[in-house]
Structures are given as structure tokens and as C-alpha cells.
Amino acid sequence: MVRGKGSQSKHDAEIQKIAKELQFKGFDVKADISGFSKPETIRGYLPDVIAQKGKQKKVVEIETPDSVSSSRDVKQQQAFRQAAKQDPNTTFRRKVTD
């Protein structure tokens, strides 16, 4: 899936915003943007953000209007939700940018 330049910029800005918010809350954050360590893959997919504080773990995926409901989006959501269901300390959140 290829995003347009403006769409990719909004996507990356939202990742940056969420990553910084989680850091401020004391989480160790990995994010799929420059300035952060890359998160580990989950079931073959790279989430935009993984944040951990103690046993608590948050997985965040950002989508843009042009990537919502794509085949990849659906498969990623399924993988991240299943992984979160298997660990009571893990939550998954998906956010769609404007």
C-alpha cells in the first residue's frame, strides 16, 4: 500500500504525537518513524507504535483515509487484536487520521 505524500506526512505526524504522549506518561516507546527505535513485528506486521511500562503494553496502529479497510489494514488489525487478546496486559488501538 502506497500513501500519497500528504497522507504519509499526516500519518507520521500522528505517530509522533502519540509516541510523545506515551513517553510523557512514562512509557518506553518504539515507533516506526525516525528518532525512535523500530518496534518488533507482531505476527509478521510492523505496528506504528509499541509502548511499554512495567507489564502494561500498548500497540497503536495509525491509518489514513486512503489506507482504511485495505487488505493490509484488515490483516494487520486482526493480527494485532489477536496478539492483544492473548496477553491480558496488552491493549491494541487503531486510529484513523483526518
> pLDDT digit string (tens) for 43-96?
999 999 999 999 999 999 999 988 888 898 999 999 999 999 999 999 999 999
Per-residue pLDDT at 66: 85
- Rounded distance between C-alpha atoms, residue 89 and residue 61, angstroms: 17
C-alpha cell at 58: 500498548
Per-residue pLDDT at 1: 56
Q: β-pairing, 28-31 with 49-53?
A: antiparallel
Of 9 and 54, more confident = 54
The sign of the CA dihedral 24, 25, 26, 29 is negative
Answer CATH for 5-96 from 3.30.830.10, 3.40.50.1820, 3.40.1350.10, 3.40.190.10: 3.40.1350.10
Question: How is the chain split into domains, by residue range?
Answer: 5-96
E-only strand ranges, the chain? 28-31, 49-53, 56-63, 90-96
Per-residue pLDDT at 8: 87
Per-residue pLDDT at 3: 63
75 and 42 Cβ atoms separated by less than 8 Å: no
pLDDT, average across residues 24-44: 97
- Rounded distance between C-alpha atoms, residue 38 and residue 49, angstroms: 8
